[in-house]
């Protein structure tokens, strides 16, 4: 929700929009975990830190330094047994509430806002007697915002901004929400004035971005929602396709319908959630659909999209065929090195989709030509490792959503919406223990070259061949150590085939380069101008892999 600063606005107004990529200050660095100095820092938890640099607990309105709390408790000698009992009840309740609060923060950091909301609400409702329950109210307000209950979120932020005096993040968040959702610039200005009085850093955009890490959790929530809804739409079409007879299996129209439907739906959801400065670079456009004979297909797509919107229940609209065509065409942006652009592959791995195998809905956000966020929905990818074979037991549950924000790590969540877990690429250092991914389709990547590279490296396992950016997702959680992609001569890679996958892997600790060792450059429009191929692995294996790649390419060229 990035609104450009209007130069004609007052000094505060001109500053407020820079908060809008996320009015939600949940993406913070934890300097001081509340009551829990031993908890490792996470960048999303500063919300709960207090302004002091050592551990404090707010208890009954009094500020107590936590390092003294145990000492105080042990030296405290209550007169009666009843007072002793009361004291132990209080400390038990404090630990319960802190545990719930911490769990809420964790879930919020993972982007699981509905669950985070439950934990915060439980603290707010059941532990009112503790002053620190106000921090749960802040968490609750922000989680409410993320799950779409914005009225309630703003009301809660307003209340808590009064009870938690001197907490700049709440005022800044409120400023952004009042500006973006209530269209109340004067009220927003007041809140922003308070925030900047309490912490003048909020006027500094680089501080908000680099230190507070505010952007772009709103975008992430929107991207997850869009990709998940599209995944459901594609699953429905793939199921019907696989159940259909041979003749209609040879018909390409189901994939066409799902492809356009997915693009229209993602485009619609993103524009609903983040209307400001919308720009989308996507694979499809409506040219063919607008030709004679396309009307029936457009109607099928429109029905599919409307069914998905209705099943979600958050938007009370029915799209016309023209709305759908317009939504598809809003993906005509060229991208580039300036500004922010969404990048979408509505069905990556169409061949896999038709075969009933892997495919992905791949959505990324570019800012100034760099990928800052990526979401990969992989409806057929098992939740557990696909290991060295690419196979999984038939009972395994499938459907993964990978998501990553720059600086925030990579998470994987079941597509059914249950809790996310942080993922990491494998730590394997010995190529003999490594396995590698490549395209299922030999036309997309030279299998003979990857085989030569694997041989030089000493990789023993056979290639794991799967379609789409599900390869990046699987690699990000350590299912395999290497991904090799060497298109045949003359093929130009497109940004939507790699943007989401690239950040999902790099945020999980991996490295993605072209065959010359250069990072992929997403700033040049729709195409990635790169040398020969794309190689992906962990930091430790990259030098070995890189030499094997160089040698193999030379050898192959010499043999031609
Ligand atoms: N000749 C070619 N060489 C390399 N990639 C190709 C190709 N033809 C198509 N592709 C791309 O490869 C993608 C699939 O990658 P993978 O082989 O990893 O599954 C396709 O995405 P779409 O299916 O979205 O068109 C398409 O963009
Ligand atoms: Mg693709």
pLDDT tens digit sequence for 156-178:
999 998 888 788 888 888 887 88
**Among the ranges given (11-15, 155-159, 531-535), the one the predictor scored with the smallest mean pLDDT:** 11-15
Per cent of the chain over pLDDT 90 is 55
Is the model's pLDDT at 306 over the cut of 90?
yes
How far away, in angstroms, is 349 Cα from ligand 1 center?
7
Q: Is residue 395 packed enough to be buried (19+ CB in 10 Å), middle (13-18) or exposed (0-12)? A: exposed
Closest atom of ligand 1 to 441 CA is 17
pLDDT score, position 65 = 36
Which ligand is in closest contact with the Cα of 437?
A: 1
* pLDDT-derived band at 19, boundaries 50, 70, 90: low
The yes-or-no answer on residue 514 being catalytic is: no
Measured CA to CA, the distance from residue 39 to residue 92 in angstroms comes to: 19
* pLDDT-derived band at 42, boundaries 50, 70, 90: very low
C-beta neighbour count of 67 within 10 angstroms = 11
Residue ranges, comma separated, of all CATH 1.25.40.10 domains in the chain are 11-211
pLDDT score, position 180 = 65
How far away, in angstroms, is 528 Cα from ligand 2 center?
13
Closest atom of ligand 1 to 358 CA is 19
Q: Given ligand 1 and candidates 266, 283, 344, 349, which is best to mutate, with the most ligand atoms within 8 Å of its CB?
A: 349
Residue ranges, comma separated, of all CATH 3.30.540.10 domains in the chain are 217-418
Provide CB contacts within 8 A for 363, sequence distance 6+: 223, 226, 227, 266, 342, 343, 344, 345, 374, 375, 376, 500
Is the model's pLDDT at 541 over the cut of 90?
yes
Q: Is residue 371 packed enough to be buried (19+ CB in 10 Å), middle (13-18) or exposed (0-12)? A: buried
How far away, in angstroms, is 505 Cα from ligand 1 center?
19
The pTM (predicted TM-score) of the whole model is: 0.69
Considering the domain delimited by 217-418, tell me its CATH architecture.
2-Layer Sandwich (3.30)
List 259, 348, 467, 479, catalytic entry = 259
**Structure letter (DSSP) for residue 194:** H
Considering the domain delimited by 431-559, tell me its CATH architecture.
3-Layer(aba) Sandwich (3.40)
DSSP assignment of 261-315, as one string?
Answer: HHHHHHHHHHHHH--TT--EEES--STTTTSTT-HHHHHHHHHHHHHHHHHH-S-
How far away, in angstroms, is 283 Cα from ligand 2 center?
8
C-beta neighbour count of 163 within 10 angstroms = 13
Closest atom of ligand 1 to 359 CA is 19
Residue ranges, comma separated, of all CATH 3.40.190.80 domains in the chain are 431-559
pLDDT score, position 108 = 78
**Among the ranges given (4-18, 84-98, 243-257, 268-282), the one the predictor scored with the smallest mean pLDDT:** 4-18
* 188-218 pLDDT per residue, tens: 888 889 999 999 988 876 676 556 555 446 7
Measured CA to CA, the distance from residue 218 to residue 191 in angstroms comes to: 20
Mean of the pLDDT values across residues 462-482? Answer: 97
Is the model's pLDDT at 372 over the cut of 60?
yes
Average predicted confidence (pLDDT) for the chain: 82
Measured CA to CA, the distance from residue 484 to residue 545 in angstroms comes to: 10
Beta bridge partners of 341: 366
Which one has a higher pLDDT value, 355 or 78? Answer: 355
Phi, psi of 365 (to 5 degrees): -125, 125
Closest atom of ligand 1 to 469 CA is 18
CATH top class, domain 11-211: mainly alpha
Beta bridge partners of 58: 63
Measured CA to CA, the distance from residue 477 to residue 492 in angstroms comes to: 28
The yes-or-no answer on residue 259 being catalytic is: yes
Which ligand is in closest contact with the Cα of 487?
A: 1
List 350, 410, 506, 513, catalytic entry = 350
pLDDT score, position 101 = 93
Cβ atoms of 367 and 554 closer than 8 Å: no
Task: Pick the residue whose CA is nearest to atom 9 on ligand 1.
Answer: 444
pLDDT score, position 246 = 56
* 408-419 pLDDT per residue, tens: 789 999 998 777
ipTM exceeds 0.90, yes or no = yes
């Amino acid at each position: 929700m990035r609104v450009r600063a209007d130069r004609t606005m007052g000094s505060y107004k001109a500053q407020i929009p820079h908060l809008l990529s996320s009015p939600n200050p949940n993406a913070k660095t934890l300097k001081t975990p509340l009551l829990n100095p031993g908890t490792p820092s996470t960048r999303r938890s500063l919300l709960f830190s207090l302004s002091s640099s050592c551990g404090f607990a707010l208890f009954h309105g009094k500020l107590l330094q936590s390092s003294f709390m145990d000492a105080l408790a042990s030296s405290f000698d209550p007169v009666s047994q009843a007072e002793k009992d009361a004291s132990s009840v209080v400390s038990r309740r404090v630990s319960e509430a802190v545990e719930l609060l911490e769990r809420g923060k964790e879930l919020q950091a993972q982007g699981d806002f509905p669950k985070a909301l439950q934990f915060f609400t439980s603290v707010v409702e059941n532990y009112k007697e503790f002053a620190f329950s106000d921090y749960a109210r802040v968490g609750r307000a922000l989680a409410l915002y993320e799950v779409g209950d914005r009225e309630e979120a703003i009301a809660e932020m307003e209340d808590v901004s009064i009870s938690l005096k001197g907490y700049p993040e709440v005022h800044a968040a409120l400023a952004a929400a009042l500006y973006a959702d209530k269209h109340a610039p004067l009220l927003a200005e007041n809140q922003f004035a308070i925030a900047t009085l309490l912490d003048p850093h909020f006027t500094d955009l680089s501080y908000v971005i680099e230190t507070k890490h505010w952007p772009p959790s709103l975008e992430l929530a929107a991207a997850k929602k869009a990709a998940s809804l599209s995944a459901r739409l594609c699953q429905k079409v793939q199921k019907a396709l696989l159940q259909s007879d041979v003749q209609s299996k040879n018909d390409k129209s189901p994939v066409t319908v799902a492809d356009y439907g997915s693009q229209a739906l993602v485009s619609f959801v993103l524009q609903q959630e983040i209307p400001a400065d919308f720009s989308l670079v996507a694979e499809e456009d409506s040219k063919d659909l607008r030709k004679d004979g396309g009307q029936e297909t457009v109607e099928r797509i429109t029905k599919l999209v409307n069914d998905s919107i209705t099943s979600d229940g958050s938007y009370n609209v029915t799209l016309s065929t023209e709305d759908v065509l317009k939504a598809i065409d809003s993906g005509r942006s060229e991208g580039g090195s300036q500004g922010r652009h969404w990048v979408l592959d509505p069905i990556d791995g169409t061949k896999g989709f038709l075969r009933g195998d892997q495919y992905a809905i791949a959505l990324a956000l570019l800012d100034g030509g760099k990928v800052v966020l990526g979401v990969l929905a992989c409806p057929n990818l098992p939740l557990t490792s696909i290991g060295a074979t690419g196979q999984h037991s038939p009972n395994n549950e499938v459907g993964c959503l990978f998501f990553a924000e720059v600086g925030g790590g990579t998470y994987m969540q079941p597509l059914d919406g249950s809790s996310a877990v942080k993922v990491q690429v494998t730590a394997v250092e010995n190529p003999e223990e490594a396995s590698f991914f490549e395209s299922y389709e030999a036309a997309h990547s030279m299998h003979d070259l990857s085989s030569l590279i694997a041989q030089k490296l000493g990789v023993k396992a056979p290639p794991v061949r799967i379609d789409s950016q599900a390869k990046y997702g699987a690699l990000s959680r350590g299912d395999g150590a290497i991904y090799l992609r060497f298109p045949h001569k003359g093929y130009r890679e497109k940004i939507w085939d790699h943007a989401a996958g690239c950040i999902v892997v790099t945020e999980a600790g991996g490295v993605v380069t072209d065959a010359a060792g250069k990072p992929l450059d997403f700033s040049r429009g729709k195409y990635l101008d790169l040398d020969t191929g794309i190689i992906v692995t962990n930091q430790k294996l990259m030098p070995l892999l890189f030499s094997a790649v160089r040698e193999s390419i030379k050898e192959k060229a010499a043999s031609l």
